[in-house]
């Protein structure tokens, strides 16, 4: 019953936008959306970083807009890598982006349309806006709508799966990027039938401390199985793994659970993701030999993708 009601509401909302019953805001600054059909797990944060770096290479100054999920603050927050804010204040993903792009402004606001309107007051400063998780934001006209797809994810909708809307709605996208896993032939056929351009991404991984070879692992991300497989690819011997919920906050109780596991396994070394690492207290990191895995993404058909990106932002041919 819940499934059918949810599907009906999603379908009705999309239909009203398709019929132009709901208005869309046209920004004076080109808007690039990086989103997906599912709730997380496709690599949006590394891809936002990748897009921003491409724009900076073109001498553009992008503003990154993010919701700042699970942050304690409610107000609109503008910050960058020099601001000294914490994940509790701005959210783990925006903070992670700021560490990778210290000179880029990030605007954290639950209301993304409000963020776009605010940014327009500073169009002499920002010449592109990147929305993190913007595919479902149909109230905003986008210059480029990018959807990330992990071919290993189930396409079932809520509450039976993680998809927020039916797979067929991918036809709204300007392009699809396969991120963590290569697409099956069947998936490629579906995307091609939808008439959407597609690109493949090559993920690469690095360890913050290459001397670490064995220990326990933990993470609070959308795709924990992918992290575990990544450790295997990096030849890391994991004694025991702890999976937390996505955007896990590392409270005293959570840290005690990790410490108990380290003690039970007679280990001093732990492995986690970059997103989890930035939320760990400094005293905890100093107490143990910690190591995080950093993920980077690179489009295989780089020049073709860059051409689309620049055409949509600065009109280069």
Helices 44-57 and 92-100: crossing angle in degrees, nearest 10, is 30
* Residues β-bridged to residue 35: 147
Does residue 293 contact residue 273 with C-beta atoms inside 8 Å? Answer: yes
What tens digit of pLDDT does each residue of 205-256 get? 999 999 999 999 999 998 899 999 999 999 999 999 999 999 999 999 999 9
CATH top class, domain 2-203+298-313: alpha beta
Give the mean pLDDT of 133-153: 93
Question: What is the distance between the alpha carbons of residues 275 and 30, in angstroms, rounded to a whole number?
Answer: 28
- CATH 3.40.50.300 placement within the chain: 2-203+298-313
316 confidence band (pLDDT: 50, 70, 90)? low
176-206 in b/e form (b: 16+ CB < 10 A) is bbbbbbebeeebbebbeebebbbbebeeeee
Give the mean pLDDT of 19-29: 94
* DSSP string of 65-76, one letter each residue: EE--TT-S--S-
Compute CA distances 283 → 178, 216, 280, whole Å: 38, 18, 8
Q: What is the pLDDT of residue 139?
A: 96
Number of CB atoms found within 10 A of residue 21's CB: 9
317 confidence band (pLDDT: 50, 70, 90)? very low
Helices 302-313 and 44-57: crossing angle in degrees, nearest 10, is 70
Phi-psi region of 300 (alpha: psi -120 to 50; beta: other; left: phi over 0): alpha
Number of CB atoms found within 10 A of residue 110's CB: 14
Q: Average pLDDT, whole number, for the chain? A: 93
Number of CB atoms found within 10 A of residue 86's CB: 14
Q: How wide is the angle at C-alpha 63 spanned by C-alphas 61 and 68, nearest 5°?
A: 155
Q: What is the pLDDT of residue 160?
A: 79
Give the mean pLDDT of 251-277: 97
Total residues found in the chain within this entry: 317
Q: Cα 221 to chain center, whole Å?
A: 10
What tens digit of pLDDT does each residue of 153-163 get? 777 887 777 88
What tens digit of pLDDT does each residue of 162-171 get? 889 999 999 9
Percent of the chain with pLDDT over 90: 79
What tens digit of pLDDT does each residue of 50-92 get? 999 999 999 999 999 999 988 988 889 999 999 999 999 999 9
Arch. (CATH architecture) of 205-296: 3-Layer(aba) Sandwich (3.40)
53 class by beta-carbon count within 10 Å (0-12 exposed, 13-18 middle, 19+ buried): middle
Q: How wide is the angle at C-alpha 36 spanned by C-alphas 146 and 138, nearest 5°?
A: 75
């Amino acid at each position: 019953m819940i499934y059918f009601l949810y599907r009906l509401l999603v379908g009705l909302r999309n239909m009203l936008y398709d019929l132009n019953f709901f208005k869309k805001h046209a920004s004076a600054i080109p808007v690039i959306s990086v989103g997906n059909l599912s709730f997380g797990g496709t690599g949006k944060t590394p891809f936002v970083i990748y897009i921003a770096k491409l724009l900076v290479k073109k001498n553009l100054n992008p503003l990154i807009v993010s919701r700042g999920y699970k942050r304690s603050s409610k107000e609109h927050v503008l910050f960058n890598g020099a601001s000294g804010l914490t994940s509790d204040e701005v959210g783990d993903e925006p903070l992670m982006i700021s560490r990778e792009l210290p000179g880029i402004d990030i605007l954290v606001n639950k209301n993304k349309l409000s963020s776009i309107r605010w940014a327009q007051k500073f169009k002499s400063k920002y010449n592109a806006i990147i929305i993190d998780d913007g595919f479902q934001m149909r109230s905003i006209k986008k210059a480029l709508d990018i959807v990330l797809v992990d071919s290993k994810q189930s396409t079932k909708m809520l509450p039976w799966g993680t998809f927020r809307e039916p797979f067929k709605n991918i036809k709204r996208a300007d392009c699809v990027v396969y991120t963590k896993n290569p697409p099956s032939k069947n998936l490629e056929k579906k995307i091609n039938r939808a008439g959407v351009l597609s690109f493949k991404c090559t993920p690469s991984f690095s360890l913050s401390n290459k001397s670490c070879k064995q220990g326990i692992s933990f993470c609070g991300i959308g795709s924990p199985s992918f992290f575990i497989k990544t450790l295997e690819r990096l030849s890391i011997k994991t004694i025991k793994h702890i999976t937390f919920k996505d955007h896990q906050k590392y409270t005293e109780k959570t840290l005690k659970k990790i410490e108990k596991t380290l003690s039970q396994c007679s280990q001093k070394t732990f492995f986690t993701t970059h997103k989890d690492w930035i939320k760990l207290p400094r005293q905890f990191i100093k107490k143990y030999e910690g190591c995080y895995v950093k993920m980077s993404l690179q489009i295989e058909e780089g020049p073709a993708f860059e051409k689309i990106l620049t055409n949509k932002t600065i009109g280069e041919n």
